[in-house]
Amino acid sequence: EDVFQPPSSGRSSLGHPQAAPRSSPATPHPDLFRSEDTKTKRKQKAPHTSVHPKRGRGDSAAQEEKWHNKEEQDKKPQPLRFTPATTPGPTFDTTVSWSPLSLFQLFFNPAKFVWKVLTVRDFYIFMAILIFSSLVSVHHRSDYWRKAWPYNFPFPGNKMARNRFEAILWSLHLSNPEEDEDNERKKNTADYDRLFKIKPLYTEIVTACQAHFQPYQMISIDERMVASKARHRMKQYQKDKPTKWGYKLFVLADSSTGYTWNFFVYTGKSVSTTGQGLSYSSVMDLLPLSSLGGGYTLFVDNFYTSPTLFQDLSARNIGCCGTIRKNRIGFPQTDKNDLPKKAERGDLRWLRRGNLLFVKWMNTREVTMCSTVHAAFSGKSIQRGVKSAGVWQSKSIPAPDPVIDYNQNMGGVDLSDALIGYYSVHHKSSRSIHPSILFRLSGVGSRGQQPKQGDPDFPLPSHLGQLLRGMWRSTGLDRIICANSNALPDIAPRHCPRKSVWVSQTNDQMSQQ
């Protein structure tokens, strides 16, 4: 009777929730009213009455097993039947005396890794795979050899094994390894050539680009960035380029077709060949007048433009036009009748020094130009968007002649970059300078032979498709792959990358040949 009994439910007899009793320092804890017997009963666990065995307990046999001591007898299992594939022991001839070197060569036999000679046909297939990969994009290079849908391409899996392609890609060298070692010994000296490993192909491509195409009158010089994740001291950073990190090339391109006529790779800070700085020397190195000729008009940006350069080129029968920085040596510093800071859009000022014309023109901001082939202003205008009363409208704005021609002809290198970037070879490489860099340049160079840039009857994928088909024919691949049809294998229904429309158009055009 002295045991405290808590209420059976949380409600009183009237059905209302019963308030919990308040505890106070004067009220003792309920456990103080419990007897020792009740506390003991609560600690005892109730017996297990389920018909199922308790989890974690084994069967009766498991409960009866026990550990035995060494005096108790054990029974040995039945012996296994020994059936080795060959006679146990050394598999080589033990009757012959083997030297340590001979035993070592058993485990490191160079005959297992004999290099298969690379034939011209194999290299054409290798290059055809690179071109094929520029037309058809997959996530990984190994997907070109996958047999499962949608990657079951008839090419290249049936013409070259993946391991063979990888071996050629990894082992491709463009120079003599012995000469490479001699060049490496010259490191940190003036005789060291950072481009030695690609110099043979590099020189050959530049020579071919100049031999098979003559630029039209309008040409341009600009930088080109070749993206790379390799760790190399030649990599540069260009914040204003779409490709920020990579190898920097100085390129001379035809303005109308985008043809890369000459280029060189920037190898870092070095002694100038002309003593006039990098911008001056790079232009002079890209203009071999003996093979280019005279009468051309060169367009450059403000990195290259200087009065000294333009005068020297004008003396060699090369006209120039480009934007110029106001702090260049030789730029007019007079303030007399200068362009106001808040001039109206389209207002301009010009100044002439002999054949050098300097122009200041107000667009959304001030633009400064220099030219040796233009008059200042002939009444021409350009269309620009102007916002009036919250509505954008096209408005005709007067513009100087150098600005109009510069906008039309400066994009030669940009056009060349676009042609390269649309259908380029995408794969990673651990090399500092991979041959695919030059492959991209040579591919655009060969396309420059087309009659007119932007011809809808001869788009870039059609050119690459015809090049691929020509390589197949030269190696006999078309007779093997397309034995029953004159058309290339249609890959578009099985794989639809972002360029699938162009690929389909290429196949349709080839099937009509």
pTM more than 0.85: no
- The boundaries of the domain holding residue 151 are 120-172+450-511
Report the C-alpha dihedral over residues 269, 274, 278, 283, rounded to 10 degrees: -130
Looking at residue 441, its amino acid is L
Relative to beta strand 366-371, strand 319-323 is: antiparallel
| Residue 469 placed within a domain | yes
Question: Could you tell me the maximum CA-CA distance found in the chain, to the nearest angstrom?
Answer: 125
Give 248-257 pLDDT, tens digit per residue.
Answer: 889 999 888 8
| Residue 90 placed within a domain | no
Higher pLDDT, 422 or 153: 153
Give 103-146 pLDDT, tens digit per residue.
Answer: 777 776 666 566 788 888 888 888 888 888 877 888 888 898 98
| Residue 128 placed within a domain | yes
Domain count within the chain:
1
| Residue 77 placed within a domain | no
Give 316-375 pLDDT, tens digit per residue.
Answer: 999 999 999 999 999 999 999 999 988 999 999 999 999 999 999 999 899 999 999 999
| Residue 337 placed within a domain | no
Cα–Cα dist 216/239, whole Å: 31
Contacts 24+ apart (CB under 8 A), 13-18: none
| Residue 52 placed within a domain | no
| Residue 159 placed within a domain | yes
φ, ψ for residue 25, nearest 5 deg:
-60, -25
| Residue 282 placed within a domain | no
> What is the residue-averaged pLDDT of the chain?
75
Q: Which two tokens stand for residue 78?
A: 């039945």
Upper half-sphere CA count for residue 437 (Cβ side, 13 Å)? 27
φ, ψ for residue 385, nearest 5 deg:
-80, 130
Cα–Cα dist 125/119, whole Å: 10
Cα–Cα dist 481/471, whole Å: 13
Using alpha carbons, select from 348, 352, 303 the residue that is nearest to residue 325: 303
**How sure is the predictor about 484, in pLDDT bands with cuts at 50, 70 and 90?**
very low
Using alpha carbons, select from 132, 139, 130, 200 the residue that is nearest to residue 166: 130
Q: Which two tokens stand for residue 155?
A: 């090419």
